[in-house]
């Protein structure tokens, strides 16, 4: 009986052990399934910015860089800490092409605009093609810890090597109501769609706006282009998953003021809480450059 009882106890212990393995495996499977079904967002829960690195795209692309990367964006732009050695920046847009059309859509994370034809940015001797621009609220970059109400990102791709350069422009609120303001026209036309999700709205045509009103005033050049003498520059990343690095950032020092109605229209699609701005990331060992001498 003693031997039999011992075997019975061993069998019972083995059963409990197997049950633990099964439960543990099921728990792992459940966690994996939850991660796979969880879509990144700006709120709380499994898709929050703190958890982006644990998720992956529909194509299996890893988002690990969102936490493992050392050159992440956005950052705090502190004039006193930036090095004043950047050269004047020339933005070269083919203004007339913006009037020929484009598409506006809500991708579930922002309002995005795809422009047609050739619009370019030149940094030194390198040319970049404008791919799209989109919006964040509140601003993702901060200046000495302070946010602007919104920020627009003009995303460009290098014609030379395919690398990305993003021009960030801070958007401040104006007391004046201007029905012809291009930002207001875009927001009034943009589909509200599904915010903070993976569903994309249908595309609508970009109204015939003038892109000159989308940038701060600057000194015009003989070529019809515009030179922006005051800006920050640093090496960073995409501010959304997969948070890919080696992105050249140009953030204009001066904001542009837009009607309060434009900001309100954006908030109809993306409410202030939680907004659609990634939290500020550590600077680490990077240097922020500025193109003007600090007082």
Tell me what pLDDT residue 198 has. Answer: 59
Q: Does position 266 have pLDDT exceeding 90, yes or no?
A: yes
What pTM, to 2 d.p., does this model score? 0.84
Q: Does residue 243 surpass a pLDDT of 90?
A: yes
State residue 273's pLDDT score: 93
Query: If we measure between CA atoms, which residue out of 24, 21, 213, 187 comes closest to residue 106?
Result: 187
Rounded CA separation 277/137 (Å): 6
The DSSP bridge pattern shows strands 111-115 and 102-106 to be antiparallel
- Could you report the per-residue pLDDT of 189-221, keeping only the tens digit for each? 998 865 555 567 789 988 888 777 888 876 555
**Long-range residue pairs from 43-47, CB within 8 A, at least 24 positions apart, any chain:** 43/196, 43/274, 44/274
Closest CA relative to residue 65, chosen from 274, 242, 222, 295: 242
Query: How distant is the alpha carbon of residue 28 from its chain centre?
Result: 31
Question: What's the pLDDT tens digit per position in 72-122?
Answer: 999 999 888 889 887 766 666 655 556 667 899 999 999 999 987 677 888
* Structural domains of the chain, ranges and CATH numbers in brackets: 69-290 (3.10.200.10)
Alpha-carbon distances of 32 from 57, 66, 116, 181, rounded to whole Å = 14, 19, 40, 47
| Number of other CB atoms surrounding residue 114 within 10 Å | 16
Percentage of the residues of the chain whose pLDDT score is greater than 90: 53
pLDDT at 220: 55
Helix (H) or strand (E) holding 252: strand 245-252
Percent of the chain scored above 70 by pLDDT? 76
Mean pLDDT of 143-161: 96
- 109 part of the active site: yes
- What's the rounded mean pLDDT across residues 237-244? 98
When computed from its CA atoms, the radius of gyration of the chain, rounded to whole angstroms, is: 24
Residue 29: the pLDDT is: 38
Q: Residues 58, 109, 134, 141: which is the catalytic one?
A: 109
Mean pLDDT of 243-263: 96
User: How confident is the model over 155-175, as pLDDT tens digits?
Assistant: 999 999 999 999 999 999 998
For residue 14, pLDDT over 50 is answered with no
């Amino acid at each position: 009986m003693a031997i039999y009882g011992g075997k019975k106890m061993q069998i019972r212990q083995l059963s409990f052990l197997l049950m633990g393995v099964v439960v543990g495996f099921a728990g792992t499977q459940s966690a994996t399934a939850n991660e796979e079904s969880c879509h990144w967002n700006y709120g709380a829960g499994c898709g929050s910015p703190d958890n982006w690195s644990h998720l992956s795209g529909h194509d299996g692309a890893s988002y690990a860089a969102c936490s493992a990367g050392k050159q992440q964006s956005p950052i705090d732009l502190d004039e006193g800490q930036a090095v004043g050695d950047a050269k004047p920046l020339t933005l070269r847009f083919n203004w007339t092409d913006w009037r020929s059309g484009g598409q506006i859509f809500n991708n579930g994370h922002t309002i995005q605009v795809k422009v047609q034809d050739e619009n370019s940015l030149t940094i030194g001797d390198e040319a970049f093609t404008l791919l799209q621009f989109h919006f964040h609220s509140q601003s993702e970059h901060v200046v000495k810890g302070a946010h602007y109400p919104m920020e627009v990102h003009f995303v460009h791709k290098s014609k030379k090597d395919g690398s990305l350069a993003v021009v960030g422009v801070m958007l401040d609120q104006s007391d004046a109501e201007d029905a012809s303001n291009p930002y207001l026209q875009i927001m009034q036309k943009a589909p509200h769609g599904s915010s903070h999700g993976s569903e994309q709205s249908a595309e609508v045509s970009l109204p015939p706006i003038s892109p000159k009103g989308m940038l701060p005033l600057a000194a015009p050049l003989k070529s019809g282009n515009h030179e922006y003498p005051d800006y920050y520059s640093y090496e960073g990343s995409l501010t959304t998953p997969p948070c890919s690095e080696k992105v050249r950032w140009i953030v204009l020092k001066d904001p542009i003021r837009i009607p309060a109605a434009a900001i309100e229209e954006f908030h109809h699609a993306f409410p202030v809480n939680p907004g659609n701005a990634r939290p500020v990331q550590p600077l680490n060992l990077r240097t922020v450059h500025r193109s003007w001498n600090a007082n």
